[in-house]
């Protein structure tokens, strides 16, 4: 690669996140299935999905009365659809308008609502609990900081992230899109800089071993 190409690569401007995520689905960058929209193997592999759903159902059933849930980055809703009946109401959010419209047609459940929002920029729906499942790992540090600033409005926040196994340097920045920090041997830790998420209590609900590392689901109590 010559100097001109190197400079061009360094100066490459990132796409808007919405455009990047639309391309993911249009070009099946997370794999493909019989569906027009596919959120990747992590939303379909039983060894990942089954224990996650079990852990979330256990958490949701621990309340005397059902709680409201906001799913920030719901994707194709293959996972979220398993949780709706355990909640008071469920608001599922994604940045891709075509995906949200497809979900509205595909999943017509009581107390379920879909909204097209950019969780970094837009005001987030009101709920008792926010779920952020393998979403932050795909977006830049600046966008994560914008999201984190809003998460403390929820009583509980459940975050799932794909991280390297063993020691790693957390929170290395990336351009928002298909990839994750795993390619840089990094992963998200919301409690460390530059995010410094303020919460009252932290507990790990689930950790699943994957060929590329660990898929860790953490519960934060904020109020």
pLDDT tens, position by position, 166-176: 999 999 999 88
| pTM of the predicted protein model | 0.89
Structural domain including 42 reads 3-221
Q: Which of 76, 68, 112 is nearest to 94 (CA)?
A: 76
CA end-to-end distance (rounded Å), the chain? 53
Q: Is the pLDDT of residue 193 over 60?
A: yes
Element (H, E) at 57: helix 46-61
Distance CA 74, CA 92 (A): 6
pLDDT tens digits for 100-153?
999 999 999 999 999 999 999 999 999 999 999 999 999 999 999 999 999 999
Residue written as token pair 């990047």: 20
Q: What is the CATH number of the domain that holds 134?
A: 3.40.50.150
Domain count, the chain: 1
Q: Which of 164, 150, 161, 137 is nearest to 197 (CA)?
A: 150
Worst-scoring range by mean pLDDT, 26-35, 45-54, 88-97? 26-35
């Amino acid at each position: 690669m010559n100097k001109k190409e190197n400079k061009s690569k360094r100066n490459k401007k990132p796409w808007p996140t919405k455009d990047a995520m639309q391309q993911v689905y249009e070009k099946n960058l997370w794999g493909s299935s019989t569906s027009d929209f596919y959120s990747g193997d992590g939303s379909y592999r039983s060894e990942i999905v089954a224990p996650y759903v079990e852990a979330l159902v256990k958490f949701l059933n621990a309340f005397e009365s059902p709680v409201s849930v906001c799913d920030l980055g719901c994707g194709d809703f293959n996972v979220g659809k398993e949780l709706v009946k355990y909640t008071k109401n469920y608001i599922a959010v994604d940045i891709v308008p075509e995906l949200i419209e497809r979900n509205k047609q595909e999943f017509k459940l009581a107390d379920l609502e879909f909204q097209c929002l950019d969780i970094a920029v837009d005001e987030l729906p009101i709920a008792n609990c926010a779920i952020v499942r393998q979403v932050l790992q795909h977006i830049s540090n600046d966008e994560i900081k914008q999201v984190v600033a809003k998460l403390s409005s929820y009583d509980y926040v459940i975050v799932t992230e794909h991280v390297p196994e063993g020691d790693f340097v957390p929170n290395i920045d990336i351009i928002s899109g298909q990839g994750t920090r795993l390619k840089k041997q990094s992963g998200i830790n919301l409690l460390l800089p530059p995010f410094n998420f303020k919460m009252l209590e932290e507990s790990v609900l689930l950790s699943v071993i994957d060929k590329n590392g660990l898929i860790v689901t953490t519960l934060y109590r904020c109020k």
